[in-house]
Amino acid sequence: MRRSIVEQTISPTVHQQPPWRAWAIVIGAGIIWLIAYNLVQPLAQVITFRVLGLQEGSHLGEAVAFFLYDVPKILLLLSGMIFLISTIRSFFSPERTRELLGGKREGIGNILAAGLGVLTPFCSCSAVPLFIGFVEAGIPLGVTFSFLIAAPMVNEVALVMLFGMFGWQIASLYLIAGMSVAILAGMIIGRLHLERYVEDFVWQIKGGDGATVLTRLTWHQRFAMAWENTREIVGKVWLYVIIGIAVGAGIHGYVPEDALAGVLGREAWWSVPVGVILGVPLYSNAAGIIPVVQALMAKGAALGTVLAFMMAVVALSLPEMIILRRVLKPRLIAIFIGTVTTGIVVVGYLFNLIVN
């Protein structure tokens, strides 16, 4: 019988560590994190207007202050929240995920899949192995798509950055909207019975014996795994964060107030489709696009429009479609794009209608 991945990769000496030591390290790091987070804004002001001598209210001064404040703030938020979420995620395994999704009725399976997608690390490169693994486990096609839509669109990076920049209300609205799109799109795709548009080789792949040893992890192991996951994710997105905030800082400092209201504001009926069309060709993740979204809103763009733009960027990226082509036939990809696009447009209009 195979040993679990966790059992193979974690040193046996870890088992000997007393749990209080792991908790002491984490609590100490948390205190340092809180102090650093509260010092970010005053330090950004001091560096911009005293050390660099830039004038308050000037275009350059506002842009630099925006950049120096948002970069460390977002990186600190990402590090702290990803560590917390990764610790929670250590109680799950891929095998348990497949067990939870397999054999579930339509609706319940889609809701579970979308919820698990939020808690699952995902990038375009993992789309194909995830898809094959789910199909191999007998998970319905519609449920699989609910997971594939929710995972990139509503992940911990997106939620942490939205919380840090807009507050919990907007982050919660985005979570609800993104999961709704994933659930409904998956249900529609499931109802259409499109299995014939999955590439034939996917159905021919046979799974292993499924024997898995589920090891009960110590707190030291959970924290160690969470730390490694935090390093990996932040290591992948930090450059996107800096580039996105730099673009946002430029918009914040140099674009006149309400300059975008006529094109992307609530009064322009075409603003949501335009936002989606602009977002599809772009290739970015939530870390790179959310600072731009914040700057666009500050200049008069409507909330529903910019969130539709963001959803299109992270859920309908061209590279992801190219990768999915390895396992999906063109017609299913077209149906997938059309269904998700329709859901995003509807969400955008609803947000513009109900959120002032």
pLDDT of residue 115 exceeding 70, the answer is yes
Dist. CA 242–CA 160, nearest whole Å? 16
pLDDT of residue 8 exceeding 90, the answer is no
CB 184 within 8 A of CB 340: no
CB 86 within 8 A of CB 119: no
The two three-digit tokens of residue 279, written as one number? 């977002």
**Residue 2 falls inside a structural domain:** no
Which SS3 state, helix, strand or coil, does residue 328 take? strand
Distance from the first to the final alpha carbon of the chain: 58
Within 8 A by CB and 6+ apart from 62, the residues are 252, 253
Q: Predicted confidence band at 32 (pLDDT cuts at 50, 70, 90)?
A: very high
Position 123, amino acid? C
Four-CA torsion 6, 12, 14, 16, nearest 10 degrees: 140
Position 85, amino acid? I
**Residue 116 falls inside a structural domain:** yes
Position 195, amino acid? E
Rg (CA), the chain: 22
Number of domains composing the chain: 1
Question: What pLDDT is recorded for position 95?
Answer: 62
**Residue 6 falls inside a structural domain:** no
Most distant CA pair in the chain, distance: 68
Domain membership of residue 191 as a residue range:
19-209+218-356
pLDDT of residue 154 exceeding 60, the answer is yes
Four-CA torsion 142, 147, 152, 158, nearest 10 degrees: 120
For residues 214 and 345, the model is more confident at 345
Question: For the segment 229-271, what is each residue's pLDDT rounded down to a tens digit?
Answer: 888 878 877 887 788 788 878 877 776 656 666 667 766 788 8
**Residue 277 falls inside a structural domain:** yes
Dist. CA 290–CA 241, nearest whole Å? 9
CB count in 10 Å sphere of residue 193? 11
Mean pLDDT (whole number) for 118-144:
71
**Residue 291 falls inside a structural domain:** yes
Q: Is 167 left (phi over 0), alpha (psi -120 to 50) or beta?
A: left
- For residue 86, give the DSSP letter: H
Question: For the segment 190-206, what is each residue's pLDDT rounded down to a tens digit?
Answer: 898 888 888 887 777 65
Listed ranges 83-92, 101-110, 186-195, 300-309; the one with the highest mean pLDDT: 186-195
**Residue 119 falls inside a structural domain:** yes
Q: Predicted confidence band at 187 (pLDDT cuts at 50, 70, 90)?
A: very high
**Residue 73 falls inside a structural domain:** yes
Percent of the chain with pLDDT over 70: 78
**Residue 4 falls inside a structural domain:** no
